[in-house]
Structure 1
Amino acid sequence: MRRAIDTLFGRLVVIVIGMLVLSHVAWFAIIRFERDNVQTRFAVEEAVFLVEAVRQHIANTPDQPLPPRVRVVPLASPDVPRQPDENMPPPLQRFVEDLKDRLPEGTDVRLSEPGGPPSVWVHGVKDTGWVVVPVQPLRPPRSRDRMLVWLALIFSTAVLAALFGAWQLQYPLRSLAQAVGRFGRGQPTPPVPERGPRELRQLTHGFNQMVREVSQTESDRAVMLAGVAHDLKTPLARLRLRAEMMDDEKMRDGVVRDVDSMAHIVDQFLVFAHDRPDGSEPVPVDEQCERIARAYRAVSPGAQPIRLKLEAGPAFALPAATLDRLLSNLLDNAHAYGAPPVVIETRREAKGWVLSVSDHGKGIAPDDLIKASRPFVRLDPARGGSGHSGLGLAIVERLARRVGGECEIGNRAEGGLQVAMTFPFDIATRPVEERRAGPQHEERVS
């Protein structure tokens, strides 16, 4: 099961959002803390200024009235508030302590009782009474909702910008990963645009160069193989004709069998080197499997019995030529190396249509499964005769991938080899060019 967190973009999203959340929470806490400190310092300075102003007013112009909310109260007045207790809120405690630090030593500072206008009572050593001055509320009503709205707006904008940047950063890498996957599956791989940071551009450039060199090598090998195989067909035809004219019947039959084996190998070379799109019309796979099985029994009466388990239905269709080559190679391989019965099966799965051919032989050693589809590799030295070139499974894998499918070779739990090919649901409706290009055409369109 694919999870979004497993992708580079998913992890970048988690990192970006996590860092933004941490930074915004930290800034929010710092702003609130600093705002409280600034407010406390401002209130202290304002109170000190008013107390000094009142003392100067009493000393210089005692006959002039004091401003509103500023007064001098006798020491024995019953309105004098009580001493601050330890249960006072921390901001008020900090305010009282800072105010005492700013006033002369020995000054008594008290706060008005709750419920009335906020004011501070100050009595110094030389004061004849309590100097009462107003003070700004340390915790005035604040518009927290507005602050949270602005914080959410800034956070959302930052997240969107960061996600766009992360998407721009991972998009070239995603394209490169898709190209690497296509190249690893043996499908045609167009050049990847060289975008992104310098290191990624260098990596993409190196990958494109590697793909070009490998494609050129593969093309040269296919041309050479096709040319050699084509040039051998004429001498083989002449050799067969001369063998038919031999008088010794036993020797004639042996030479004809050898010529037929060589011709079969040459045909396999030509099929393997063939790199043109299959322009044949799609045919229902279930019906074609039945016809091929009947024809195979008719041509080879002594061949292994073939069982059919066709459950895909008429919607599963493949190009006729490709399907014939797939089944003929798999049936020949099962007849040569497997044990009866041979089972041809079709079905529909979540990933797509499945066509599989299995036998009941010994299968392939687990260590050799990875080499089973490599061209010109014979897993058993005794398989070199009878016209076998080591191309059967390689041709099957190449033909399946050429039309956009996947080929999986493995051993059955009950014994025997099984070759399962999975094709996308829309394989029958694709144009010839798309079947030739495979799944990467869809990725480019999307």
Structure 2
Amino acid sequence: MPSPLARTPNLFWRTFILLMFLIVFCVMGWLQSFRVLNETPYVQATAQQIVSMAKLTRYALISADPVYRSDLLLVLANQEGLRILPKEPTDTVVPLSQGASYASSIEDIKATVRYSLGAGTVLAERVNGEPGLWVSFTIDGDAYWLRTNATILNPPYGKTWLWWALAAFVASILCAVLITSRLTAPLNQLSLTAREFGRGRVPKTLPEDSGPEEIRELNASFNRMVQDITRVEKDREVLLAGVSHDLRTPITRLRLETELADLPEDTHRAMVSDLEQMERIVNQFMDYARRNSLPLAAVDLSRLVSDAVRIARIDIDPGVRLRVSIDPDIWVMA
């Protein structure tokens, strides 16, 4: 079962996601602020446009010669999209509701229009089943409907804003990636250097004269740690080499004396085996001391373990029951 830490995003993706959340939150706050600040000018401009259309239409009809009034109505319908219809008591009227995009502003628009045209002005979104923006007005006591397109309440913005939004989103992603990369690059370099040092190789010195102060202090501390550990390892290698060299001489002398001594065969064989084991231990110390100067080579680990078990002679003790099960052909680089 994988560890929960293995499923945790790395620092780059954490920082990138946090930056994107911050950008989205700021954009949403900016859009809401823009909407709130733009609401009052929108109400005033829309209401003024409706009032102007109603007043100009009424004045045009009043001023026009009755003979040409029908032509005027035809011109207004064809060229301006304005229709003038008598208002009847039997009309089926659907009042202007909160369905427009600026839902919270509809009541303000209606109040502003009624303030200019009169309290009895009716704004509707559908009359006798025909949709549109309907505004009632009177001429010499007769009531009429002025119909225009409802897009005045929700003007089309086209697709330009979509392309700008897409460009801004792509630019935000690129900036977030750039910022995140700059923030995480020193830590990634430190991670790679620590991994290389953990594998027994001496890494390159991390820069201590660039980047934020915290990163410079971290790099300086890591460089000092590497230097201290390297110095301790070198001292240990020198010590092991010296001890191994000092032990090799008495072991050689003991082996020579054992060969020349008149000993029983079993005793002679046991002493020679012990001396060979001590010599192998000394050789291992010498190899450990020279490990940094020796290249890696393929080692048969199965054979090495089998030889170590055989040389240890654990099965000589009658109270020990040893069962060995080693898979063959296990090779490692060492």
TM-score normalised to the size of structure 1? Answer: 0.51
Q: Is the 8 A contact 1:111 1:120 kept in 2?
A: yes
Match of 2:232 in 1: 217
CA–CA distance in 2 between the matches of 1:4 and 1:148? 36
Q: State whether structure 2 residue 18 is matched by structure 1 residue 15.
A: yes
After superposition, the C-alpha distances for 1:34-63 in whole angstroms (9 at most, x for unaligned) are 6666433211133456778899x89xxx87
Secondary structure of 1:344's match?
coil
Q: Is the 8 A contact 1:51 1:131 kept in 2?
A: no
Residue 272 of structure 1 is aligned with which of 253, 265, 288?
A: 288
Residue 6 of structure 1 is aligned with which of 1, 4, 9?
A: 9
Q: State whether structure 2 residue 227 is matched by structure 1 residue 204.
A: no
Q: What is the CA RMSD across the aligned residues, in angstroms?
A: 4.8
Instruction: Out of 198-207 and 9-18, give the one that drifted further.
Output: 9-18
Match of 1:345 in 2: 327
Amino acid of the structure 2 residue aligned with 1:175: Q
After superposition, the C-alpha distances for 1:342-384 in whole angstroms (9 at most, x for unaligned) are 233157xxxxxx55xxxxxxxxxxxxxxxxxxxxxxxxxxxxx
Instruction: Out of 11-20 and 207-216, give the one that drifted further.
Output: 11-20
Cα gap change, 1:44 to 1:330, in 2 (>3 Å): farther
Which consecutive residues of structure 2, in runs of 5 or more, have no partner in the other structure?
101-105
How far has the Cα of 1:214 moved from its partner?
0.6
CA–CA distance in 2 between the matches of 1:243 and 1:87? 117
Secondary structure of 1:121's match?
strand
Cα gap change, 1:49 to 1:330, in 2 (>3 Å): farther
CA–CA distance in 1 between the matches of 2:96 and 2:273? 109
Secondary structure of 1:108's match?
coil
How far has the Cα of 1:217 moved from its partner?
0.5
Question: 1:270-419 maps to which residues of 2 (within 5 A)?
Answer: 270-279=286-295, 285=300, 328-329=307-308, 332=311, 335=314, 339-346=321-328, 355=331, 403=333
CA–CA distance in 2 between the matches of 1:346 and 1:161? 55
Residue 111 of structure 2 is aligned with which of 90, 97, 109?
A: 97
After superposition, the C-alpha distances for 1:115-151 in whole angstroms (9 at most, x for unaligned) are 5885633569xx86669888771123442x4433432
Counting aligned pairs with the same residue, the percent is 22
Secondary structure of 2:322's match?
coil
Cα gap change, 1:256 to 1:221, in 2 (>3 Å): same
Match of 2:181 in 1: 167
Q: Is the 8 A contact 1:225 1:273 kept in 2?
A: yes
How far has the Cα of 1:222 moved from its partner?
0.5
Q: Is the 8 A contact 1:44 1:99 kept in 2?
A: yes
CA–CA distance in 1 between the matches of 2:260 and 2:272? 11
CA–CA distance in 1 between the matches of 2:228 and 2:281? 28
After superposition, the C-alpha distances for 1:299-334 in whole angstroms (9 at most, x for unaligned) are xxxxxxxxxxxxxxxxxxxxxxxxx6x764465468
CA–CA distance in 2 between the matches of 1:173 and 1:44? 59
Between Structure 1 and Structure 2, the one with more helix by share is 2
Cα gap change, 1:257 to 1:266, in 2 (>3 Å): same
How far has the Cα of 1:196 moved from its partner?
4.8
Residue 206 of structure 2 is aligned with which of 168, 176, 193?
A: 193
Secondary structure of 1:343's match?
coil
Residue 139 of structure 1 is aligned with which of 148, 154, 178?
A: 154
Secondary structure of 2:113's match?
helix
Cα gap change, 1:331 to 1:11, in 2 (>3 Å): farther
Q: State whether structure 2 residue 182 is matched by structure 1 residue 157.
A: no
Q: State whether structure 2 residue 190 is matched by structure 1 residue 176.
A: yes
CA–CA distance in 2 between the matches of 1:183 and 1:64? 96
Amino acid of the structure 1 residue aligned with 2:119: T
